[in-house]
Amino acid sequence: MNNKLEIKANNVGNFLVRVFHYLALFAIGSAIVWSAFFAFLEMAKKTSASIEDILLLFIYLELGAVVGIYFKTNHMPVRFLIYVAITALTRMLLEYLNNWHNAASNSNFHYDILIICGGIVLLSISIIVLRYSSFNYPSDKK
How does residue 51 score in pLDDT terms, banded at 50, 70 and 90? confident
- Contact in structure between 29 and 63 (CB atoms under 8 Å): no
pTM above 0.85, yes or no: no
pLDDT digits (tens, 9 = 90+) for 66-112: 898 888 888 877 888 999 999 999 999 988 888 777 776 656 677 88
Cite the beta strand spans of 1-142 per DSSP E.
Answer: none
Inter-CA distances, 13 with 7, 8, 10, 32, 129, Å: 10, 8, 5, 28, 36
**R_g of the chain, CA atoms, integer Å:** 21
- Contact in structure between 113 and 97 (CB atoms under 8 Å): yes
| Helices of type H across 46-77 | 51-73
- Contact in structure between 90 and 51 (CB atoms under 8 Å): no
